[in-house]
Structure 1
Amino acid sequence: MDRLRWPIALATIAGLAVAIWAMHRVGFGGLIHAIDRMGWIGFLAFCVASLILSLILGAAWWASMPGQPLHRLPLFAWARIAREGANDLLPFSQLGGLIVGGRALTRFGLPPARTYAAMVVDLTTEMASQAAVTLFGVAALASILIDGDRHHVGPAAWIGVGLSIAITAAFIFLQRPLLKLADGLARKMLPNAPIPFDRLHVELGTIYARKRAVALSFLLNLAGWLYAALLASMALSLIGEPIAFWRIVALESLIFALRGAAFVIPGAIGVQEAGYVLLGPLIGLGPEAAVALSLIKRARDVTLGLPALVIWQALDLRRTPETVR
């Protein structure tokens, strides 16, 4: 993290400049008016609905650690909120968010080796499910460009659906290559994890031997991507800019991909806003509404992420309990 300090700082400054450019391009007055149409009640409803997304993603992480009792599911959901809060609000890359998420669980006594192995499995299933959604998004966008302004899912989008199903099937049945991918992720993203890598490798192998658990994690992460698009559709409806859901999936899948590529920038600030400005019109969404959606989502991230980080920091100052299995 020390080596990344200056690159992250420079990338953040550049991202802020791009975000300001995006807001200036569509006009600050129009943005305020668009957000004002949602109102506080609408924003509160949006935040409450977003907690369901945290529960889905927490369940995907929980499924990656077979043997954990169901009553610990809220703990995984809270750790996921803290992990995302660190990614979006703290001045370091997503690697820092992984550290926060891992420590959030181990502070409650979960064994470190299994916790970090489950996090790597969760990341792997998240990447695979994102690939499936992104394929549909690219194909759906191609369908929009080819078929014009028709309000149906065109042939190209159905091709994307077929490819997404193929990725899902391949993920469920090709576990050995995924174990190698998980090993690579662990070495790249957790070089300073508080456990020997050999132990982490053993835990990864144990988890990947439980195909049903890994497949469940994949399906829950896939449901999370789709539910996130549903939340975006909800926000647009609240500001008076309803768009067909499959078009929102196309847009959000590409925004997710851009955010993933810009992982070194905290919260992908600037990248997300520019993506909405450039890609929104392709699905019939005006730049003003697109940037308003981005700002609403960022306000939601602060509202949910900041309290989670405060709680995490307070707990992190306390003594780590004995690990349990």
Structure 2
Amino acid sequence: MAGRARAGARGRARGAPRRRRRVGGRLQRAALPVRAGGRGLSGASRALMRSTTVNVALVGLGYWGANLLRTFGKTPGARIAALCDQEEQQLARSGEAHAGARCVTDYAKVLATAAVDAVVLATPPASHHVLALAALRAGKHVWVEKPLALTAAQGRELVEAARAGGRLLFVDETFLYDPLVGEMKRLVDRGVLGQLYHLSFERLGMGRIRRDSNVWWNSAPHDLAILLHLVPRRVVRARLHEHAHLRPGIADMAVCDLELEDGISAHLYLSWLHPEKTASVTVVGSERMLRYEGRFEKRTLTLYDYTLDTDDRHGNLVPVRQFAATAWTPEPSGGPSSGPRTGRRIAAVVLGTVLLALLVSYAGLAPVLARFRILGWAAPLILVPYIVINVLDTSGWRCTLPAGARIPFSSLYLVRMAGEAVNSMTPTAAVGGEPVKAHLLRAFGVSGSDALASVVIARTALIASQSAFVLVGLAALFDRLERHVAGAVWVALLLVVGAGFTLLLVRLQRRGPVSTVWRWTRRLIPRSAVVARLEARAAAIDARLADFYRIERRAFLRATLWHFAAWLVGVLEVKLFMTLLGEQISLRDALIVEALSQPIRAVALVIPGGLGAQEVGGVALCSFLGIPEAAGVALWLLKRARELVFDAVGLVYLTCRTAMQTRRAEL
């Protein structure tokens, strides 16, 4: 096996990077990114690049073949002319979306189709050589998934066949098109790292355990392509160790050590049995080091400057420059679209502030200040009910976390405050802070999928309890108006609607909503690498949601009851505030104020925290109940003040956690 790895590396080191640079740019404009098998391009190859449409035959419609089919189907200048697969059902399903394509199970019929210009091979690695060679000899251009072949001799035969027939032969090494890999190449070629010493590659995760390939042929071509792209030198020695733990004869772990010319060494560690997915490259030079994280949210490139103590016993690594993942973002944060969004946010805040000022002016500044003077030294008491409310809501959220999660209650309390601060201070319909909560939970050992699922479930329980609470407040209002019959009818009707809405939310969450959103997003943005990397996470979130509602139904009920208790404490808060302001109201009126103010705030989604709109609606509700306007204004200003205090604490915690995580990442 070591001999095959050594020979294959030599064959690819001589030609692959040079050919990619030679024709890659022109072929992207031709909408079929293939590369020449030899040094020059034949007339047929040039004609293909000048043509407006390339007729493609896709062979192999499995996991990766289906992705290629979607991509080619949406690529301008490419037309799906034929589909080939041994599975007739898969062939029929794929053919439905491409009515003009010829669907066959016999590969020979594909090669005999004159209309086919190029063949795309997404078949098991062992078949690449035979199928690609037949296509080249039939006069077709060939796009083949990695690896090109399983031996260097087979690879050379394909290259010679492409050269002899004047056809294009392309191996789909996707990572070579990553802008961050391009930046790595630029830094290495400029000598920024100094003399090159070593390259280390890790490609790990719990991937699909395949039957038709092993971890080496499935993963190593990516890293070898990057290696020989960065360091185009001949491999002089290779040692490969493989381990098959799950299926006899199919390696699921592999470790390879390579020695290249000029004394450069390389190490590859590949595994299908690893708890976290990662794809990293470390390049060590005499002056600097370069670190590439190539999967999911870790997609970054970092340059390190390092020095060694004079006694050569200790080394200090200091990051001096980082290339953020914004290389994948079509439009930078300061781009044209950020201005209008920022302007709308500012306009919303200004509108809310104006509404608040008009409200205070309408009620009279002097009467409002007089109410605050009555409050006096008892002002700190306004924070007590909200502390209790947050404790109850945090207890409700805790019910939705995985059973194995061990998070101190105080930390969970602060995480929730940080998320709610973001909810209050951004016009995101009170959900913008939920991803923040999920992100902060990861520091306590909760996976990203479990954390996001927990905030979705907790938000659902909160909505259910809020709906019930509003119904109780509505019943209290009808009782106060002595409209008992009408009240009973309306409450019963809204109870049915609220219960149905909650059941609908739960049902949707049990039917894979995140994966559904991912699929629709993938259709809208088919070429987005960020969206493509989220598929596994979407499936994990859906699995957690389904398991929770199937196994932990009582936990959802407990969460709803905790949140409902928090709403009831909000009634006591209104009663306490009015008492401190010198206005006595009944618990029924306090219930009406607290319950019916919830829909008012929900309407003001576009204004951060409902600023102004919440106060105007709340004061109008108080006036309807006979509460003096000055007392109503003072009540809602107090509620706003205690909200700002808690939001400030949450933002401080968020800032501290973010700074801590940044320092850890730098170390």
Q: Among 508, 515, 539, which residue is 1:198 paired with?
A: 539
Instruction: Please show how residues 176-325 of structure 1 align to structure 2 within 5 Å.
Output: 176-177=506-507, 179=509, 183=513, 196-209=537-550, 210-319=552-661
Q: Among 368, 391, 394, which residue is 1:31 paired with?
A: 368
Matched residue, 2:391 = 55
Once the two structures are TM-superposed, the CA of residue 208 in structure 1 deviates from its matched residue by: 1.5
TM-score after normalising by structure 1: 0.82
Q: Following the alignment from structure 1 to structure 2, what is the Cα–Cα distance between the partners of residues 253 and 124?
A: 18
| CA separation of 1:166 and 1:221: change in aligned 2, threshold 3 A | farther
Which blocks of at least 5 consecutive residues in structure 1 are unaligned? 148-153
Q: Following the alignment from structure 1 to structure 2, what is the Cα–Cα distance between the partners of residues 176 and 273?
A: 33
The CA deviation string for residues 20-54 of structure 1, in whole angstroms up to 9 with x for no partner, is 111111111111111221223x2212213321111
Q: Following the alignment from structure 1 to structure 2, what is the Cα–Cα distance between the partners of residues 181 and 24?
A: 52
The CA deviation string for residues 87-110 of structure 1, in whole angstroms up to 9 with x for no partner, is 33x354334322332233223332
285-294 or 76-85, larger mean C-alpha shift:
76-85
63-72 or 218-227, larger mean C-alpha shift:
63-72
Between structures 1 and 2, the one with greater helix share: 1
Which blocks of at least 5 consecutive residues in structure 2 are unaligned? 1-332, 522-529
Q: Among 3, 8, 13, which residue is 2:350 paired with?
A: 13
State the structure with more CA Rg.
Answer: 2
1:20 is aligned with what amino acid? A
1:141 is aligned with what amino acid? L
- Residues 132 and 167 of structure 1 are in contact (CA less than 8 Å); yes or no, is this contact kept in structure 2? no
Is the partner of 1:227 in helix, strand or coil? helix
1:236 is aligned with what amino acid? M
Once the two structures are TM-superposed, the CA of residue 219 in structure 1 deviates from its matched residue by: 0.9
Once the two structures are TM-superposed, the CA of residue 19 in structure 1 deviates from its matched residue by: 1.2
TM-score after normalising by structure 2: 0.42
Bigger relative contact order (CA 8 A; separation at least 6):
1
Q: Following the alignment from structure 1 to structure 2, what is the Cα–Cα distance between the partners of residues 176 and 28?
A: 47
Matched residue, 1:150 = none
Once the two structures are TM-superposed, the CA of residue 67 in structure 1 deviates from its matched residue by: 0.9
Matched residue, 1:151 = none
Is 1:116 the counterpart of 2:457? The answer is no
Q: Among 366, 382, 395, which residue is 1:46 paired with?
A: 382
The CA deviation string for residues 254-311 of structure 1, in whole angstroms up to 9 with x for no partner, is 1112112222311100111111221112223222111111111111112222122112
Q: Following the alignment from structure 1 to structure 2, what is the Cα–Cα distance between the partners of residues 312 and 126?
A: 23
2:560 is aligned with what amino acid? F
Between structures 1 and 2, the one with greater strand share: 2
Identity percentage of aligned residues: 25
Q: Following the alignment from structure 1 to structure 2, what is the Cα–Cα distance between the partners of residues 226 and 164?
A: 20
- Residues 58 and 78 of structure 1 are in contact (CA less than 8 Å); yes or no, is this contact kept in structure 2? no
Instruction: Please show how residues 92-171 of structure 1 align to structure 2 within 5 Å.
Output: 92-93=427-428, 94-146=430-482
- Residues 426 and 608 of structure 2 are in contact (CA less than 8 Å); yes or no, is this contact kept in structure 1? yes
The CA deviation string for residues 161-209 of structure 1, in whole angstroms up to 9 with x for no partner, is 767887898799888526359937x959xx9999532221111112222
Matched residue, 1:22 = 359
The CA RMSD over aligned residues, in Å, is: 3.3
| CA separation of 1:72 and 1:164: change in aligned 2, threshold 3 A | farther
212-221 or 2-11, larger mean C-alpha shift:
2-11
1:15 is aligned with what amino acid? G
The CA deviation string for residues 63-117 of structure 1, in whole angstroms up to 9 with x for no partner, is 11141567633222222222222233x3543343223322332233322111111
Q: Following the alignment from structure 2 to structure 1, what is the Cα–Cα distance between the partners of residues 663 and 443?
A: 7
| CA separation of 1:228 and 1:68: change in aligned 2, threshold 3 A | farther
